[in-house]
Amino acid sequence: MKRVFSGVQPTGNIHLGNYLGALVQFPELQQDNECLYCIVDEHAITVPQDPKELKKHILDVAALYIAVGIDPKKSIVFVQSEVSAHAELGWILICASNTGELFRMTQFKAKSHGKESVGTGLLTYPALMAADILLYDTDIVPVGNDQKQHIELTRDLAIRVNNKYGKTFVVPDGRFLKAGARIMALDDPTAKMSKSAVNEMSRISLLDEPSKIKKAIMRATTDSEGSVRFDMENKPGISNLMNIYSAFSGKSLEDIEKDYEGHGYGDFKKDLVELTVDGLAPIKAHYEEIRYSDELVRTLHEGAERADAIAQKTMKRVREKFGLGLE
Ligand code: ATP
Ligand code: LTN
């Protein structure tokens, strides 16, 4: 059995990018693997957060995890800050990393761009992400494409520590999907769909009403050519919508092109609205049942206990290898 680990930040409404890039992979992996799915609240505070909102968003993400099909009896679902070993190993891996490699991360460059000053956590964040993954001897990390560079750094750190101190960590692999790995903003297909974009019409959140989904898709930026053809470079708008269509329908891009030969964008978009609304409806219905049940918090406590038991074993090994603490 392989070990799987992934995390989502409790920083706002989970959108189609998060879902089709990462979350959609989570339930299918739990059949044949031992999975840990984490709500990474310590990552969220790399930028300022309102404490009340953060607490609420932690439970929102937990409920969505279960609503998309994660079974907390099979997988371990937990909150990062409830297992103190994340922060502990995070520090050790900060010490194992160089400032140069952290300054090179494109996410750091993007988030610090044009700002006079940013929090240090924004720079050291990939070492904490590496700690999340390496703590559990993870083999597979299902994520969106934007995390590729962070997974590479995690691998580099694992290999570096193993070379210096002897075999300490498992070297993990990222798992990226074809259609959903990089969903772009609906109003600007050159930018990643994001929780933080100002324009609500740039994204579809998993809990959006059908009327909002319809509006956002019908208004989505396309081009003047009018043919449903995949060409990310020259036709990024329609290509992005085709990726979403493919992810929800399971159809290949070639089949979608064939199906819409001779049709305009209007027909395609109408069908995409239906596919998206139908695809998200069961998640939304399930979410409402879970979010305010007492069971949810109990599940998270239990998850943290199970995660902590694994993490403590790794930490014992790490302290030993690094020469930390007493004999
Ligand atoms: P955002 O940019 O929307 O604020 P994020 O990337 O900062 O999100 P998370 O919520 O932690 O942070 O992301 C959870 C998962 O969603 C990660 O695996 C990430 O790779 C994936 N993801 C985020 N945005 C997209 C996107 N536009 N397309 C595909 N996958 C995405
Ligand atoms: N960095 C990720 C969230 C994240 C994560 C992880 C993903 C934190 N720790 C461990 C996979 C494994 C993001 O911003 N999307």
What structural domains does the chain harbor? 3-180+294-322 (3.40.50.620), 200-287 (1.10.240.10)
Query: Position 195: which residue type?
Result: K
How far apart (Å, rounded) are the C-alpha atoms in residues 240 and 79? Answer: 32
Beta bridge partners of 36: 5, 76
Query: Position 286: which residue type?
Result: H
Name the burial class of residue 268, with classes exposed (0-12), middle (13-18) and buried (19+) by CB atoms within 10 angstroms of its CB.
buried
What is the reported pLDDT for 35? 98
Of 173, 121, 133, nearest in space to 152 by CA: 173
How far apart (Å, rounded) are the C-alpha atoms in residues 277 and 206? Answer: 9
> Along the 327 residues of the chain, how does pLDDT read in single tens digits?
999 999 999 998 899 999 999 999 999 999 999 999 999 999 999 999 999 999 999 999 999 999 999 999 999 999 999 999 999 999 999 999 999 999 999 999 999 999 999 999 999 999 999 999 999 999 999 999 999 999 999 999 999 999 999 999 999 999 999 888 899 999 999 999 999 889 999 999 999 999 999 999 999 999 999 999 999 999 999 999 999 999 999 999 999 999 999 999 999 999 999 999 999 999 999 999 999 999 999 999 999 999 999 999 999 999 999 999 998
Total residue length of the chain:
327
- Return all residues near 108 (Cβ < 8 A) that are at least 6 apart: 102, 122, 123, 125, 126
Helices 295-322, 148-165: inter-axial angle, 10-degree rounding: 40
Q: If you ran DSSP here, which 8-state letter would residue 185 be given?
A: P
| Residues identified as active-site | 111, 192, 195
Cβ(154) to ligand 2 under 6 A? no
Q: Which atom of ligand 1 approaches the CA of 8 most closely?
A: 11
Q: Which atom of ligand 2 approaches the CA of 5 most closely?
A: 12
What is the reported pLDDT for 138? 98
Cβ distance 235 to 229 under 8 Å? yes
Cβ(257) to ligand 1 under 6 A? no
How many angstroms separate the alpha carbon of residue 6 from the centre of ligand 2?
6
What is the reported pLDDT for 196? 86
What is the reported pLDDT for 12? 86
What is the reported pLDDT for 236? 97
Cβ distance 69 to 27 under 8 Å? yes
Could you give the residue ranges of the DSSP H alpha helices within 200-264? 210-219, 236-249, 253-259
- Cα–Cα separations (whole angstroms), residue 235 to 177, 180, 202, 269: 21, 17, 17, 15
For 275, half-sphere exposure in the C-beta direction (CA atoms, 13 angstrom radius) is 19
How many angstroms separate the alpha carbon of residue 244 from the centre of ligand 1?
15
